[in-house]
């Protein structure tokens, strides 16, 4: 049924081989393109090909849970029933993951202090970006257990999904920056650090910040930074380790898109970003591609024939449905051509559109088969 063959990208990736050899697969893409389904289908296929696999989703909507037939996903990988192989699934609880890091890296008394700090609580449960960092942290943890041959991760449906790539650099800039020293100053009042930053603009700064956010907030923030300080080195190191892990040839990034203008524009952004960071991009999965069952009958011919028939007849209706389908197929082909034109070296893997959503393993298997076809 594959129709309207397009000039294939220069090097078409063999996804089956990726599934058999990769240790980490990261799926990224904009929302509403079937990213979670793709991640689950890849993981299921890898598991059924004999690899011990874990799939990690951080999407708050419980889509993967539904697809995997699990009622609840918590922060621990749980075996998925009905799989002919070993597949565990989990949904990221970012607060819990963050808490675990704090408990593992800080003295018990200090850990208590951090966990109770309002800044920490807000940071760990609602800060946009924490999710990405914690997903990569969890990915690192799962990979490090040695329990899995392959870990598949689904990322949040935003551009910030790749913010974790900036994490090492951003943390370093921040931690080595003067802001931390300034914020630490009240806690170390009288110390040398305080005197050093006291100079240029410091009093102006504290005055400004106190006016803007209020003295009590500044105090909480200062305490938070002081308590976290002991862990900072560890954070930076972990971020760097994850970054290096992602860059290894055993990692494969899969950008997920749909043949729609906006989704492909986002896919371009992800592809360019990954190329810039020299991250191993396996290819772009294009979900929801429409195909026609009768590609030889042109839309024009079908419509002309429908005109001649009784307008209300079934045959005329079928011909019109066909014409609509073909124009959709052509529109999608045009968008695909534009994308391949801009990224000639990126493999495009097409998955046919289904009428309904995938909610069971059988559906995931079909998607998995289509992914490697």
Partner 1 sequence: MGDFPAVRLHVVSGKGGTGKTTVAAALALALAHGGRRVLLVEVEERQGIAQLFDTPPLPYQERKVAVAPGGGDVYALAVDTEEALLDYLHMFYKLSPNGLPARTLRRIGAIDFATTIAPGVRDVLLTGKIKEAVTRKDGTRPWYDAVVVDAPPTGRIGRFLNISHEVGGLAKVGPLKAQSDSVMKVLSSKQTAVHLVTLLEEMPVQETRDAVEELTALGLPVGGVVVNMVRSSQLTPAQLRSVEDGTAPQEDVAAGLAAQGLEPGLGTALLAQAADHAERVTLEEQGRDVLAHLGRPTYELPLLSEVDLGALYELAQMLRDQGAA
Contact range with partner 1 by CB under 8 A, out of 13-21, 89-97, 228-236, 322-330: 322-330
Q: Does 7 bind partner 1 (CB under 8 A)?
A: no
- In sequence order, the 6+-apart residues with CB closer than 8 A to the CB of 247 are 277, 278, 279, 280
Q: Does 3 bind partner 1 (CB under 8 A)?
A: no
Q: How far apart are the first and last CA of the chain?
A: 12
Contact range with partner 1 by CB under 8 A, out of 6-14, 144-152, 177-185, 246-254: 177-185
CA dist 221 and 133 (Å) reads 21
Residue selected from 216, 219, 233, 237 as contacting partner 1 according to rule CB under 8 A: 216
Tell the residue number behind the tokens 């971020």, with chain if given.
239
Q: What secondary structure does DSSP assign to 184-199, as a single string?
A: HGGGGTTSHHHHHHHT
Q: Does 259 bind partner 1 (CB under 8 A)?
A: no
Smaller CB separation from partner 1, 244 or 262:
262
**Are the C-beta atoms of residues 261 and 338 closer than 8 Å to each other?**
no
244: closest CA among 138, 145, 164?
A: 164
CA dist 107 and 135 (Å) reads 24
Q: Shortest gap between Cβ of 53 and partner 1 (angstroms)?
A: 24
Smaller CB separation from partner 1, 153 or 197:
197
* Phi, psi (deg, nearest 5) at residue 190: 95, -20
Q: Does 122 bind partner 1 (CB under 8 A)?
A: yes
CA dist 73 and 58 (Å) reads 10
Residues 81-110 that bind partner 1 (CB under 8 A): none
Residue selected from 147, 174, 196, 250 as contacting partner 1 according to rule CB under 8 A: 174
Q: Does 186 bind partner 1 (CB under 8 A)?
A: no
CA dist 348 and 164 (Å) reads 25
Contact range with partner 1 by CB under 8 A, out of 10-18, 185-193, 246-254, 305-313: 305-313
Residue selected from 215, 342, 369, 373 as contacting partner 1 according to rule CB under 8 A: 215
Contact range with partner 1 by CB under 8 A, out of 6-14, 91-99, 145-153, 288-296: 288-296
CA dist 252 and 284 (Å) reads 11
Q: Does 314 bind partner 1 (CB under 8 A)?
A: yes
Q: What would the two tokens of residue 129 be?
A: 């970006």
Q: Does 356 bind partner 1 (CB under 8 A)?
A: yes
Residues 42-71 that bind partner 1 (CB under 8 A): 59-61, 63
Residue selected from 94, 114, 162, 182 as contacting partner 1 according to rule CB under 8 A: 182
Contact range with partner 1 by CB under 8 A, out of 11-19, 69-77, 240-248, 321-329: 321-329
Q: Does 217 bind partner 1 (CB under 8 A)?
A: yes
Q: 87 forms bridges with which residues in the sheet? A: 53
For residue 283, give the H/E element and its range.
strand 281-289
**Are the C-beta atoms of residues 113 and 141 closer than 8 Å to each other?**
no
């Amino acid at each position: 049924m594959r129709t309207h063959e397009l000039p294939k990208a220069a090097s078409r990736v063999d996804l089956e081989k990726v599934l058999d050899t990769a240790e980490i697969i990261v799926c990224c893409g904009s929302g509403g393109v079937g990213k979670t389904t793709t991640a689950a289908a890849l993981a299921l296929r890898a598991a059924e090909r004999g690899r011990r696999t874990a799939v990690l989703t951080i999407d708050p909507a419980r889509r993967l849970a539904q697809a995997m037939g699990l009622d609840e996903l918590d922060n621990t990988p749980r075996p998925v029933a009905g799989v002919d192989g070993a597949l565990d699934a989990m949904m990221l609880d970012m607060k819990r993951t963050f808490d675990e890091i704090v408990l593992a890296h800080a003295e018990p008394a200090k850990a208590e202090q951090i966990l109770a700090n309002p800044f920490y609580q807000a940071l760990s449960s609602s800060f946009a970006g924490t999710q990405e960092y914690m997903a990569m942290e969890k990915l690192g943890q799962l990979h490090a257990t040695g329990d899995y041959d392959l870990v598949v991760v689904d990322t949040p449906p935003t551009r910030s999904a790749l913010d974790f790539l900036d994490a090492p650099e951003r943390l370093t800039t921040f931690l080595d920056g003067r802001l931390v020293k300034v914020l630490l100053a009240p806690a170390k009042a009288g110390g040398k650090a305080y005197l050093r930053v006291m100079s240029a603009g410091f009093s102006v700064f504290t005055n400004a910040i106190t006016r803007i956010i209020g003295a009590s907030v500044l105090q909480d923030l200062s305490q938070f930074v002081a308590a976290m300080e002991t862990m900072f080195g560890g954070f930076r190191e972990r971020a760097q380790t994850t970054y290096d892990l992602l860059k290894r040839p055993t990692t494969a990034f899969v950008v997920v898109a749909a043949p729609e203008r906006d989704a492909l524009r986002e896919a371009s952004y992800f592809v360019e970003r990954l190329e810039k960071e020299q991250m191993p991009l396996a290819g772009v999965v294009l979900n929801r591609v429409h195909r026609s069952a009768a590609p030889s009958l042109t839309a024009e011919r079908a419509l002309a024939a429908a005109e001649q028939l009784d307008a209300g007849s079934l045959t005329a209706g079928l011909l019109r449905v066909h014409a609509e389908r073909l124009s959709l197929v052509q529109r999608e082909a045009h968008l695909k051509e534009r994308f391949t034109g801009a990224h000639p070296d990126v493999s495009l893997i097409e998955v046919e559109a289904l009428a309904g959503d995938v909610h069971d393993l059988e559906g995931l298997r079909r998607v998995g088969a289509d992914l490697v076809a």
